[in-house]
């Protein structure tokens, strides 16, 4: 059984009357790619900043490798690499100079730093940009450089705060390929994101909403927490149908997926049978229906909107 690298015990943060993070308690084991998902303002970054010793908790505590993230923050900071949301490197220094600077700041021995720099430049596909100023790089290349700098001292733990935000699909995939390689090599990765498709790429996922943990489990377990079927229908015209179906008392919610309408309902089979017998909207045409498997967007929608009638809440 893998040891717990990160432990949160009722970790909380208030800014005056505003509770940004509320009593978070969970653990993350070694070698996990943990995806911390939620909308903007949900508390993801605040939680990460507390774990990194950058923000003082106002309640509870966090531990990394058994050390308090605030009281022992100077020791804890040697154990992780951190990639912030915004580009935080030196724009006037070249790719190689940034790596050497951060390697020196992290006290990487000079005889190891040269090899480490060369290895990271190669792994992050920055060989042709070695002598380019960081400020002249594309957004994707900047994020790859930021990741390389966070890894320069070879930490066992990596924090990434929305590392793929604003990246094109090619660089997003490149970033995730690197994270897979790092996880395979034994590193623990804590990554925040608001992209639901990225949850599928993680070994474990935590959903946060308004500072509270809604659920934490593997993607497979979270999708299995649906206790009802998901109904998808094709209706013409689509957008008027979405609005009107959403107002039916038997329907908890409706989402648009590739031109079809996905229905969240406590009794979807009964609902479909009634529609097939007596479609309630003569000005809208029901073209077809099917049962679909839930994805991570469905999971987050159900948890965040409180659709308890379709969930088995046993994933925290």
CB count in 10 Å sphere of residue 98: 22
Distance CA 265, CA 310 (A): 7
pLDDT in tens, 123-139: 999 999 999 999 999 98
State both tokens at 303: 């948890």
| Residues 265-283 pLDDT 10s | 999 999 999 999 999 999 9
Kindly state the tokens that stand for 55: 């923000």
Are domains 4-217 and 224-310 of this chain identical in fold?
Answer: no
- Do 160 and 189 meet the contact criterion of CB atoms below 8 Å apart? yes
pTM: 0.90
315: confidence class by pLDDT, cuts 50, 70, 90: low
Give residue 2's pLDDT. Answer: 66
108/121 Cα distance (integer angstroms): 16
- Report the first-to-last Cα separation within the chain, whole angstroms: 19
Tokens standing for residue 83 = 């990639």
CATH class of 224-310: alpha beta
CB 218 within 8 A of CB 201: no
* Tens-place pLDDT, residues 206-253: 999 999 999 999 999 999 999 999 999 999 999 999 999 999 999 999
Instruction: Dihedral sign for Cα 44, 49, 51, 56, please.
Output: negative
Contact 210, 43 (CB under 8 A): yes
Residue 75 has pLDDT above 90, yes or no: yes
pLDDT at 316: 63
Query: Residue 168: is its pLDDT beyond 80?
Result: yes
Is 90 exceeded by the pLDDT of residue 64? Answer: yes
Domain ranges, ordered by start, for the chain: 4-217, 224-310
Report whether 81 contacts 155 (CB < 8 A). Answer: yes
On whether the 4-217 domain is CATH 3.40.50.300, my answer is: yes
Long-range contacts of 307-312 (CB under 8 A, 24+ apart): 307/252, 307/253, 307/264, 309/228, 309/252, 309/266, 310/226, 310/227, 310/228, 310/252, 310/264, 310/265, 310/266, 311/225, 311/226, 311/227, 312/225, 312/226, 312/227
């Amino acid at each position: 059984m893998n040891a717990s690298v990160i432990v949160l015990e009722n970790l909380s943060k208030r800014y005056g009357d505003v509770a940004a993070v509320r009593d978070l308690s969970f653990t993350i084991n070694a070698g996990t790619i943990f995806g911390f998902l939620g909308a903007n303002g949900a508390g993801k970054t605040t939680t990460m900043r507390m774990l990194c010793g950058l923000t003082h908790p106002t309640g509870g505590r966090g531990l990394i490798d058994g050390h308090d993230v605030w009281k022992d923050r100077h020791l804890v900071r040697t154990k992780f690499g951190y990639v912030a949301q915004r580009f935080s490197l030196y724009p006037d220094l070249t790719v190689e100079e940034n790596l050497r600077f951060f390697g020196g700041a992290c006290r990487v021995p000079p005889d190891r730093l040269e090899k480490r720099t060369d290895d990271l430049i190669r792994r992050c596909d920055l060989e042709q940009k070695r002598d380019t100023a960081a400020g002249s790089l594309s957004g994707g290349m900047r994020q790859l450089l930021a990741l390389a700098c966070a890894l320069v001292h070879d930490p066992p733990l990596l924090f990434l705060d929305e590392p793929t935000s604003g990246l094109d699909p090619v660089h997003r995939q490149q970033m995730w390929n690197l994270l897979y390689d790092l996880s395979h090599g034994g590193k623990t990765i804590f990554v925040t994101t608001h992209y639901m498709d990225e949850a599928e790429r993680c070994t474990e996922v935590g959903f946060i909403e308004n500072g509270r943990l809604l659920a934490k489990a593997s993607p497979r377990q979270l999708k299995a927490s649906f206790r009802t079927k998901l109904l998808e229908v094709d209706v013409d015209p689509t957008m008027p149908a979405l609005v009107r179906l959403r107002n039916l008392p038997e329907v908890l919610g409706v989402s648009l997926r590739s031109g079809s309408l996905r229905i969240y309902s406590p009794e979807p089979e009964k609902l479909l049978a009634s529609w097939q017998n007596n479609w309630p909207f003569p000005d809208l045409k029901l073209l077809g229906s099917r049962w679909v498997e839930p994805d991570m967007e469905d999971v987050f929608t159900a948890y965040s909107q409180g659709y308890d009638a379709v969930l088995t809440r046993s994933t925290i």
